[in-house]
Amino acid sequence: MIAFRLELRRSRGLLIWLGITLLGYGAMMAAMYPFMKENDALIQGYMDAFPPEFMAAFGMTGVLSDPGVFFTTYIGSWLWPIVAAAAGIIVGTRAVATDLDRGFLDLPLSTRTSRVGYLAASIGMQVVVMAVLALAAVLGLWGVGRLVGAEFELVPFLAAGLLCFAFGCAIAGPATLLSVLTLSRGTTAAIVGGVVTAMYALWVVTQVAADWRWLAPISAWDHFNTTKVIDDGLFPLGDLALFAGVALAGWLGALWAFRRRDLAA
């Protein structure tokens, strides 16, 4: 519990600044929603000038004023993946690779706190960080949208937030495992960042090029369809389970590996 409190205290700055970014950006976009709604036909006409595959690659698969398309366009397809990857790498690598590098890890681990207990506290904090940020991503857009008269339903938005949360955990889990295996924040960041970017690139390619579409399920973006969740009311149980599985595999693997890992500074 003490280790968890310490981790939470250390995450305060990250939560505040990324939370403000998500809330602020979502609020700003939502404030523009009535204008977009009023000019739906005009905007749609402009969007129709682009190939639909190209638009789909960037999350725009319908009318921009549809709540799901709106959320995916401004949050789901770009801001959230960037924030989730940054936060996942920062908090996923902090407890082991970063703290070993800065010489802090020895201090908690030289107390009665076990290795597993210490890392489990960090993992608990990662869950909290992702939950708070996912909530901020949803509530900024939803709250201000409601204030300006948008017909944003809370439950679908929360379901999209849950998918965002799971997506973020699926980055943090493997980042934690890699941090334990490599004991290097830089290597971990490069691998995780590279994989996330490659998945995004693969997703774009599979949307633009029909011949490559069969590869789409390999990309996380194929399972991160917030448009469907909000506009169609589909609860993404399978996608949630997939992300949860990746996150849990990462975290449990990290706990297992950390028990026996040499901690050479």
Partner 1 sequence: MTDRVIEAVGLTKFYGSRRGVEDVDFTVTGGEAFGFLGPNGAGKTTTIRLLLGFLRATRGEIRVFGKDAFAEAAGIHATVGYLGSDPGFLGELTSAEQLDYLAALRGLPKGAWRPLAERLELDPSVLIRRLSRGNKQKIGVIAAFMGNEPLLVLDEPTSGLDPLMQREFLALAAEVRASGRTMFLSSHNLVEVERVCDRVAIIRDGRIVDVSTVGQLLGSHWRSVNLVLATPPAPDAFDLPNVEVAAMTGREVHLMVRGDVNPLLGRIAAQDVHDIAVTTPDVEDLFLRYYREDDSGATRVSFGTGNGTPAETIEELPA
Binding site for partner 1 (CB under 8 A): 2-3, 5-6, 9-10, 13, 99, 101-104, 106-115, 260, 262-265
9 vs 212, beta carbon nearer partner 1: 9
What residues contact residue 231 under an 8 Å CB cut-off, 6+ apart?
62, 66, 67, 68, 69, 156
For the record, the structure tokens of 255 come out as 């706990």
The least CB distance from residue 11 to partner 1, in Å, is 10
Return the number of the residue (117 or 193) whose C-beta is nearest partner 1.
Answer: 117
As measured in angstroms, the least distance from the Cβ of 83 to partner 1 is: 20
Closest contact distance (angstroms) between CB of 192 and partner 1 is 23
Nearer to partner 1, 87 or 247 (CB): 87
| Shortest distance (Å) from residue 254 CB to partner 1 | 17
Nearer to partner 1, 150 or 183 (CB): 183
C-beta closer to partner 1: residue 6 or 190: 6
Cβ contacts of 36 within 8 Å, gap of 6 or more: 43, 64, 65, 70
Structure tokens at 167: 């997506």
Judged by CB, which is closer to partner 1: 112, or 214? Answer: 112
DSSP 104: -
Residue 153 belongs to what H/E stretch? none
Closest contact distance (angstroms) between CB of 99 and partner 1 is: 8
Question: What's the Cα-to-Cα distance from 147 to each of 143, 150, 226, rounded to whole Å?
Answer: 6, 7, 22
Alpha-carbon distance values, 77 to 137, 166, 226 (Å):
12, 15, 9
Candidates 246, 6, 1, 29; CA nearest to 148 is 29
b/e burial code for range 224-254 (CB count within 10 A of at least 16 → b): bbbbbbbbeeeebeebbebbeebbeebbebb
Instruction: Give the residue among 222, 86, 247 at the shortest CA–CA distance from 169.
Output: 247
* Residues 31 and 148: beta-carbon distance below 8 Å: yes
Closest contact distance (angstroms) between CB of 67 and partner 1 is 38
Q: At what angle do helices 2-10 and 12-31 cross, to 10 degrees?
A: 50
Q: Least distance to partner 1 from the beta carbon of 257, Å?
A: 13
Helix-strand-coil percent breakdown of the chain, rounded to 5?
80, 0, 20
Decide whether 9 or 155 has the Cβ nearer to partner 1. Answer: 9
Q: Report, in Å, the least distance between residue 97 CB and partner 1.
A: 13
Nearer to partner 1, 60 or 119 (CB): 119
